[in-house]
Structures are given as structure tokens and as C-alpha cells.
Amino acid sequence: MLSITYTQDAHDALQSSVTPALVLGMEAQTKTRVVLLACGSFNPITNLHLRMFELARDHLEDTGQYRVVKGIISAVGDAYKKKGLIEACHRLEMARLSTENSDWITVDSWESSQPEWLETAKVVRHHYEELHTAEQYNDDVDTVKYAKKRRMQEDSFEGASEHKRRGNTHLMLLCGADVLESFGIPNLWKQEDIAEILGRYGLVCITRSGSDPYKFIHQSDMLWKYRKNIHVVHEWVTNEISATHVRRALRRGRSVRYLLPDSVVDYIQEHGLYTAESEQKNADVVLAPFQRYTSTSSS
């Protein structure tokens, strides 16, 4: 009979071969890769918009099931016609400036370059298709800087890139609780769009003060059905910075420094953005149903 003796030498050899890089590589193979997509006006982008990404990544990675590889900011186009919405070129440039130092959050101009307003489900679908086309051709889904860092950790583990080829990356919509609660406003979202976003992709929702996403999910049959695909992230350090507040402060000549990245504050000053006049933009536009919401209700 063959007997195996586990000697101290064998133990030491095994220990020395399990390097941190190997462990990271093995973990990378078992975790679901996630790309987070945030859609909104970003009029202008604030520190809280950026915090949403960091909070969501920490939350998802903390579950041990996910590895967040990329964040995408997608701003609505000018056709959204929301009151006070300034030109997409400025909103995009401010978003780009604010993510300059991030190695994983990016800005995408596809949505804002469309001539018509697009329902969010269509935007998510577009990015999902882009993601899977990239994976099919074995391109990096991650940003260049992030991919390089991660690859250094993973490459020592044979099989990690094979895992990537299998197209395992998920796309999830990232939003604040006000957007989740707006799902309950009659005629604002098509029911099939909500079903597609929640059922096919998934949602990460950051709490905002005054919102109760758990209660909202409980009270809505639709949301309850997809509750396992809704990741609620509780933000304990509540901060009510909103783009509306920032625009109001700017109109009144008040400082907005530390509410927005410095580069965005400088850009606003340089271009003289957000005046009493710009706030009146689209004020006389007859709003479509999707633009009428100011308060929330449950479905």
C-alpha cells in the first residue's frame, strides 16, 4: 500500500508556492467581474456622484462574489430637455476632468451624442453589447490603467485569462435611491424596461437621506420579484450634495469648492457656467411624462 508522509519539508514547499499573487489569481477566477454604469444628468458632476462608484465597489467586493473592474459615467443628451440642463459637451468635459485621477471610472459619450433622449434600458443594452463584443474579441474590458494593475496580480495564475474569455462580466446599473423610487411613478418607466434592467442586468442602489429603498422594494411587487438583483448600499455618511444645490449656489455667487472636484470648479468659472439664465433653459419646454417627476411614490 502506498503511504504518503506529510513532512515538514513538504509543508514548507507548499507554503512557499502559494504566493499572494497566486491567491489573487485564484480568487479572480471564481469571482464575477462587474462593470458599473451610472446614468444621469451630471449637471454638474459632484463628489457624491463619484462617491457612488466607490461605495458600490466596496459593497460588491465585500460580498466576496464580485470584482468590480470598471465604472462608466453616461450623461443624458441635450434632448432630455430638463430645466437648467446645460450642453452635454460641458457636462461631459467636467465628468472627464473629475475622473482624471481614477484608474477605474471612465466617461462615455455615446448616450449624450444621440439625437434623441434614450430610455435608460436602451443605454444599458448598448453598454452590455459593447462589453460582450469586447470580450468576444478578448479585448480588455477594464480601463488600461486598471487592467495593467490587475493583470500583474492575475497573470501568475494560469487560467485567469481563459476565465475572462468566457464572457463572465456582468453589467449593473448604478443609481441613487431616488431613481429606484422613481420606478413607481406612473408612466415614467416602462414596466418591461424595469424588468429588463433588474432581471437581466441588476441594480446597485445607494441610499440617500429621506429614502427607504428596503421599504420601497417591499411595497412594490415588481421590485420584490427582482429583489435578489437589487444591491442596496447603505451610505452611513449621509451627504445631501445635489447638482440642484450646486447650481443654486453658483447662481448666487456662493462657493462650491469641496462639493465638486477642484478641476470642475475651475472649469465652471472659466466658462461662466450655471447662471440665472442657464437655469431657465428648457423652462418653457412641455415635458414628456418621463421628465415630470419631482416626488416619489410606490408602485
Ligand X SMILES: Nc1ncnc2c1ncn2[C@@H]1O[C@H](COP(=O)(O)OP(=O)(O)OP(=O)(O)O)[C@@H](O)[C@H]1O
* Surface-to-core class of residue 187, CB atoms within 10 Å of its CB (0-12 exposed, 13-18 middle, 19+ buried): exposed
Place of cell 471610472: 105
Q: Would the CA dihedral through 273, 277, 280, 282 be positive or negative?
A: negative
Q: Which is nearer to ligand NMN, 189 or 226 (CB)?
A: 189
Interaction between residue 241 and ligand X (CB under 6 A)? yes
Q: Pattern 155-194, binding to ligand X, x per CB under 6 A? A: --------------------xx-xx---------------
CA gap 116, 144 in Å, rounded? 31
Residue choice 193, 249, 282, 298 for contact with ligand NMN (CB under 6 A): 193
CA gap 28, 15 in Å, rounded? 20
| Smallest distance, ligand X to C-beta of residue 176, A | 2
Q: Which is nearer to ligand NMN, 26 or 188 (CB)?
A: 188
CB-CB contact of 32 with 67 (8 Å): yes
Q: Pattern 68-87, binding to ligand NMN, x per CB under 6 A? A: --------x-----x-----
CA gap 127, 111 in Å, rounded? 10
Place of cell 462617491: 51
193 binds, among ligand NMN, ligand X, none (CB under 5 to 8 A by kind): ligand NMN
Interaction between residue 278 and ligand X (CB under 6 A)? no
Q: Which is nearer to ligand X, 21 or 290 (CB)?
A: 290
Q: Pattern 233-272, binding to ligand NMN, x per CB under 6 A? A: ----------------------------------------
Alpha helix positions (H), 236-294: 243-251, 262-271, 276-279
CB-CB contact of 88 with 78 (8 Å): yes
Residue choice 54, 87, 103, 119 for contact with ligand NMN (CB under 6 A): 119
Q: Which is nearer to ligand X, 148 or 254 (CB)?
A: 254
143 binds, among ligand NMN, ligand X, none (CB under 5 to 8 A by kind): none
Which run of H or of E encompasses 128? helix 120-136
CA gap 176, 213 in Å, rounded? 10
Interaction between residue 41 and ligand NMN (CB under 6 A)? yes
Q: Please give the single-letter amino acid code of residue 227.
A: R
CA gap 58, 45 in Å, rounded? 21
Query: Judged by CB under 6 A, how many residues of this single chain contact ligand X?
Result: 20
Place of cell 472659466: 270
Residues that bind ligand NMN (CB under 6 A): 39-41, 76, 82, 119-121, 179, 188-189, 193, 290
Residues that bind ligand X (CB under 6 A): 38, 40-43, 48-49, 52, 175-176, 178-179, 206, 208, 239-244
